Structure 1
Amino acid sequence: MVTVKETHVVKPAEETPSKIMYVSDIDQINPITHAPTIYFYRSPSFSSFPIMVEILKHSLSKALVIFYPFAGRLQWTHRNRLQINCNSLGAHLLEAETDARIDDFAPDYRPTSAVRDLIPSADYKRPIEDLPLVLIQLTKFSCGGVSLGLGLSHTLIDGQSALHFVSEWVRIARGEGPEYLPFLDRTVLVQDQEDLLPADHFDGSDYKKPPLMIGSLNNIEERLKETDVLMLRLSKEQIDKLRSKSNEENKRPGDLDRGFTRFEVVAGHMWRTASKARKHMETQETALRVVVNIRNRVKPPLPKFYFGNAILPVIVTSTYGELVSKPLSYVAGKIRAATEKVTDEYTKKATIFLDKQEDLSQWRYLHVVGSTQGVFYGNPNMDITSWLTLPHMEGGTDFGWGEEDHFGPGVVGFDGKSFILSDYSRPGSAVVALRLQVTHIEDFKTFFYEDILN
């Protein structure tokens, strides 16, 4: 059981601009929840928990001067869009303790409900103007270790921006000062609607609802089925085998002239494996949702250290029969084709398409655990997020008490949702965190490894 002992409101250490900030259309389709991540420190060099809390408070107050939108609050506009009120109301930092030990979570640190208790959450029934954009919880374990649970507003940032914020906060905590200042102006993503006529050339297919199970009128029954999270490791050798086989299969005139990436082959392998484990009918349609980083795909590229969401979703569709009968290179090629269509022109058209939508709520509820609203990528579909290319901080997330023993997602929200993480303890290896319906888990694990061997 986790007990919260005290809650601190941490405001910027200095006066910051007081203004309303624009939230881009790309930000608008992200969940209004807080993206949960977790850090475990087995043997922190500081034995004094109160000192660790003070280090976090002092350094966070300085970090919020630089990242001052994070100290504000969201509010609704007349168009049912969101904007940021930079009012310096501050972040919330919780002190907590538990009788549990870190060994209760190691070695795989599976993001279960017990892990979720180590990360602060907000009451989303309250007005959005009341919700802090940064939630932090430092929890002391009975073994002497600690965990740091973060909840950062997904409306404001994607994974790359989140790690930028954490890395600068860490540097400040160690007395080194900030290294790279964030670029905060989101209006660089505003598009001139006179330049393009997306209605003629953009069908919005990446924003349509995914397929349902054959014979179903909605996805409510699938949402209600029992699910659980599994963590599966892929060694460098296993990933190399997937890549090598796919690249060999693909050596035909007119095909791709460069090898498949780790993400393309692992995501393709996961999608095929999930369909096999779910035992779909041959004609069952299935969709895979992935997100694409647009920072270097737009012209000119977004400013370095752009602070916001710079990702767009793309949808790959197939049928069960096609996925299992075609080679992995075919599936990986479909994923590549979908991601490569995200160009500067595509981004502009997608942004204008979103701006013209009266209601964006169906996408905002995508990742809400237990939600029955909006788009759902559970059975027969999948949603795969890659953390393989997220920047890794040299020395880890060391606030002055040592490098973390584990960093990962705090929640894998729904059936079909998954993350592919780099395993920094084993270069070239990866970890897959995946939530599936319980009845499909054992088959997934079996096919996942057997298909690599075969």
Structure 2
Amino acid sequence: MVVLKSCYTIKPAKPTPTSGIVISDCDQDKPITHAPIIYIYRPCSNFSYNSALESIKIALSKALVHFYPLAGRLKWVGDKGGQVELECSSVGVWLYEAKSNTKLADYGDFCPTPELRSLIPSVDYNAPLQEIPLLLVQITRFTCGGLSLGVGISHIMADGTCFFHFMSVWARIARGEPLDVDVLPYLDRTALLAREPPTSQYNHERFDPPPLLMGLVDKNEERNKRTTVAMLHLSKTQVEKLKNMANDSRAANIRPYSRYEVVTGHLWRCMCKAREHKSEQITRLYLTVNIRNRMKPPLPRAYFGNAILRVTATSQSGELMAQPFRYGPSKIREAIEMVTDDYVKSTINLVKGLPDLTPFRTYHIVESTQGAFYGNPNLEVTSWVGLPLKGVDFGWGKEIHVGPGSVNLDGKAFIMDGHNEDGSLVVALRLQVGHMDALREIFYKDIDDWRSSKM
């Protein structure tokens, strides 16, 4: 049980600009919700909780001087569901102090269950948009002496890359270390505003309604089914086996498939099997692509804002299951390589022209009946592989775990580096209860079966 003790409003430590920050057209179609991330710590023996709490409050106030847009509020431009804009009002972020009667050991491998979600502030999305903080933090003490730092950050304000950038700067300030110029955020988002039309036409499949399960005409039949969450762990050896499976008999002119491509392809294939799709079932995989280095010129390294695009790979389930293993990874690579500077411009021009962005902003909200249903027969995979999410030390030691605080959607998954960064990977996902046991079995059995066939 988690009990909230106090709530503090943290404002920038110094006066900050009150205008000049735009919400780009690459931000506008992102969910109106907050991304929940959890950090777990087991402090050293001389740890003082009261000193730590005061330290992170002061450091957060100082960090907001540089990341001052997070201390503002969003508001609608015209009708609700259309464009939003940012008011740099410096009204602040919320920091909760909480206590739990549980121990860290009670959370196992920190699977994103409702119990773990209680360690992160929740948000009432029925409240007026201009009243909702863009950043919420919760520090929770456990009976064993450990603590957690749960963070919710507005999807419209930040993607994963700049969120972890913010966390590293906040921790650096808490440790009393100076900030070099190259770690400060680049706040100008105008590079991703819609401008001249692109030179080519593209099929933006991600804006189309997702495929439905064959035989269904009502998306709510699948939406209303019970779901559960799991953490699937892959050792370095298992990841290498998947890479070998994808690269076996690969053409010489095709570069080797990456860890992300092969694990995502494997998950897609296994989900089709676990869900018992018919061969002709259409299934769509939703992916996010970092566009920072795909723009001409590239975006500044410290760009603070959404610099990701959601793209899709589509296949018949039978093709994924019958073709050689590399078929899935090849479809994923094809979707990712489609994202060029011109493609990005085409996408943000399209977003600029949409009168109602509600379907893309609300599908992450639990029990939402708005927008499309992206679950069975589809999936969405977000990669945190290679992101600088680890090593966030506020002065009491590095975290023992960092990961998503919740996974809200049937078929939604995160792929992350293993804790020891030894080449292992972890997949956190949500799936319908009726399919999870089958997925667990298939996920590992297919790797073992391939290994046996090569002996």
Same fold (TM over 0.5): yes
Q: Tell me if structure 2 keeps the 8 A contact 1:12–1:63.
A: yes
| Partner residue in 2 for 1:61 | 61
Does residue 444 (structure 1) correspond to residue 439 (structure 2)? The answer is yes
Separation (CA, whole Å) in 1 of partners of 2:165 and 2:233: 26
| Partner residue in 1 for 2:238 | 238
Q: Tell me if structure 2 keeps the 8 A contact 1:20–1:85.
A: no
| Partner residue in 2 for 1:303 | 300
Residue range with higher mean Cα deviation, 338-347 or 214-223? 214-223
| Partner residue in 1 for 2:71 | 71
Separation (CA, whole Å) in 2 of partners of 1:158 and 1:426: 22
Separation (CA, whole Å) in 2 of partners of 1:207 and 1:114: 34
How far the C-alpha of 1:20 sits from its partner, in A, is 5.5
Separation (CA, whole Å) in 2 of partners of 1:335 and 1:21: 34
Q: Tell me if structure 2 keeps the 8 A contact 1:249–1:329.
A: no
Q: Tell me if structure 2 keeps the 8 A contact 1:249–1:327.
A: no
Q: Tell me if structure 1 keeps the 8 A contact 2:12–2:65.
A: yes
Q: Tell me if structure 2 keeps the 8 A contact 1:414–1:435.
A: yes
Q: Tell me if structure 1 keeps the 8 A contact 2:47–2:396.
A: no
Q: Tell me if structure 1 keeps the 8 A contact 2:10–2:95.
A: yes
| Partner residue in 2 for 1:224 | 224
Query: 1:273-352 alignment to 2 at 5 Å?
Result: 273-352=270-349
Instruction: Show CA shifts across 1:420-453 (max 9, x none).
Output: 0101315110001010111111110111011011
Q: Tell me if structure 1 keeps the 8 A contact 2:381–2:413.
A: yes
How far the C-alpha of 1:46 sits from its partner, in A, is 5.0
Which residues of structure 1 form unaligned runs of 5+?
none
| Partner residue in 1 for 2:194 | 191
Separation (CA, whole Å) in 2 of partners of 1:314 and 1:192: 21
Q: Secondary structure at the match of 1:196?
A: coil
| Partner residue in 2 for 1:6 | 6
Q: Tell me if structure 2 keeps the 8 A contact 1:45–1:401.
A: no
Residue range with higher mean Cα deviation, 240-249 or 52-61? 240-249
Does residue 355 (structure 1) correspond to residue 352 (structure 2)? The answer is yes
| Partner residue in 2 for 1:171 | 172
CA distance 1:101–1:419, change in 2 (3 Å): same
Separation (CA, whole Å) in 2 of partners of 1:287 and 1:340: 17
Instruction: Show CA shifts across 1:294-352 (max 9, x none).
Output: 00001000112100000001111111111100111111101000100000110011111
Separation (CA, whole Å) in 2 of partners of 1:16 and 1:438: 49
2:184 paired residue among 181, 185, 188: 181
| Partner residue in 2 for 1:416 | 411
Q: Tell me if structure 2 keeps the 8 A contact 1:365–1:375.
A: no
Q: Tell me if structure 1 keeps the 8 A contact 2:25–2:194.
A: no
| Partner residue in 2 for 1:127 | 128
Separation (CA, whole Å) in 1 of partners of 2:149 and 2:274: 35
> Number of aligned pairs?
445
Does residue 385 (structure 1) correspond to residue 382 (structure 2)? The answer is yes
Separation (CA, whole Å) in 2 of partners of 1:312 and 1:218: 28
Which residues of structure 2 form unaligned runs of 5+?
450-455
User: Amino acid of the residue matched to residue 157 of structure 2?
Assistant: L
Separation (CA, whole Å) in 2 of partners of 1:44 and 1:84: 40
Separation (CA, whole Å) in 2 of partners of 1:61 and 1:77: 29
Q: Tell me if structure 2 keeps the 8 A contact 1:169–1:178.
A: no
Q: Secondary structure at the match of 1:348?
A: helix
TM-score (norm 2): 0.95
Instruction: Show CA shifts across 1:170-222 (max 9, x none).
Output: 000000032311000111112323x4366xx1332221121001111131111
Instruction: Show CA shifts across 1:139-195 (max 9, x none).
Output: 0101111111000111100000000000000000000032311000111112323x4
Does residue 100 (structure 1) correspond to residue 102 (structure 2)? The answer is yes
Q: Tell me if structure 2 keeps the 8 A contact 1:290–1:315.
A: yes
Separation (CA, whole Å) in 2 of partners of 1:421 and 1:378: 21
Instruction: Show CA shifts across 1:114-156 (max 9, x none).
Output: 0010000111111010111110000010111111100011110
Residue range with higher mean Cα deviation, 32-41 or 214-223? 214-223
Q: Secondary structure at the match of 1:313?
A: strand
CA distance 1:45–1:11, change in 2 (3 Å): farther
Q: Secondary structure at the match of 1:38?
A: strand
How far the C-alpha of 1:84 sits from its partner, in A, is 0.9
How far the C-alpha of 1:43 sits from its partner, in A, is 3.2
1:87 paired residue among 86, 89, 107: 89
Instruction: Show CA shifts across 1:12-55 (max 9, x none).
Output: 00000012631111111111111000011123455432222101
Residue range with higher mean Cα deviation, 15-24 or 235-244? 15-24
Query: 1:394-413 alignment to 2 at 5 Å?
Result: 396-413=391-408
User: Amino acid of the residue matched to residue 434 of structure 1?
Assistant: L
TM-score (norm 1): 0.96
Residue range with higher mean Cα deviation, 56-65 or 319-328? 319-328
| Partner residue in 2 for 1:367 | 364
Q: Secondary structure at the match of 1:335?
A: helix
Separation (CA, whole Å) in 2 of partners of 1:178 and 1:135: 23
Question: Identity of aligned pairs, percent?
Answer: 48
Separation (CA, whole Å) in 2 of partners of 1:245 and 1:196: 38
| Partner residue in 2 for 1:147 | 148
User: Amino acid of the residue matched to residue 203 of structure 1?
Assistant: N
Separation (CA, whole Å) in 2 of partners of 1:30 and 1:334: 24
User: Amino acid of the residue matched to residue 5 of structure 1?
Assistant: K
User: Amino acid of the residue matched to residue 416 of structure 1?
Assistant: G
Q: Secondary structure at the match of 2:31?
A: coil
RMSD: 1.3
Q: Tell me if structure 1 keeps the 8 A contact 2:194–2:352.
A: no
CA distance 1:78–1:262, change in 2 (3 Å): same
Separation (CA, whole Å) in 2 of partners of 1:290 and 1:45: 43
